[in-house]
Amino acid sequence: MDALVGTATVRGPGLGEAPTLIVDAVRGGGVLLGRDGEQAVRDAFRMWRVAHLPGVLRPDSPTPPQGKEMLRAYAHALESLVLDG
């Protein structure tokens, strides 16, 4: 999920379409591994949100402010698709 979100922030189709594409890709990967696709998406999102996102959003992170804003926006969009949807 980290690679998909990172790529989407740089070269993706934008916040309107990319979060759905990310969820679909992770779901498909989970199914290929023999897991329930929806659970795989939830697990991958939670792990990404806890393991990768905080380090990038830290004040001392070298990520530029506009990059941090994009990652926050993607995190919120993904959360609404994965956990609320």
Residue at 80: amino acid letter: S
User: Which tens digit of pLDDT belongs to each residue from 35-48?
Assistant: 999 999 999 999 99
**What tokens were used for 22?**
């990310």
Among residues 9, 42, 17, 6, which one has the least CA distance to residue 27?
A: 42
| pLDDT of amino acid 84 | 79
Host domain of residue 49: 2-84
- Report the distance separating Cα 29 and Cα 26, nearest Å: 5
Among residues 51, 48, 55, which one has the least CA distance to residue 75?
A: 48
Residue at 66: amino acid letter: Q
Residue for token digits 């993904």? 78
Mean pLDDT of the chain: 95
Quote the number of domains for the chain: 1
pLDDT over 90, % of the chain: 95
Whether the per-residue pLDDT at 73 is higher than 70: the answer is yes
| pLDDT of amino acid 85 | 62
* Mean pLDDT of the region 74-82: 96
**What does pTM read for this prediction?**
0.91
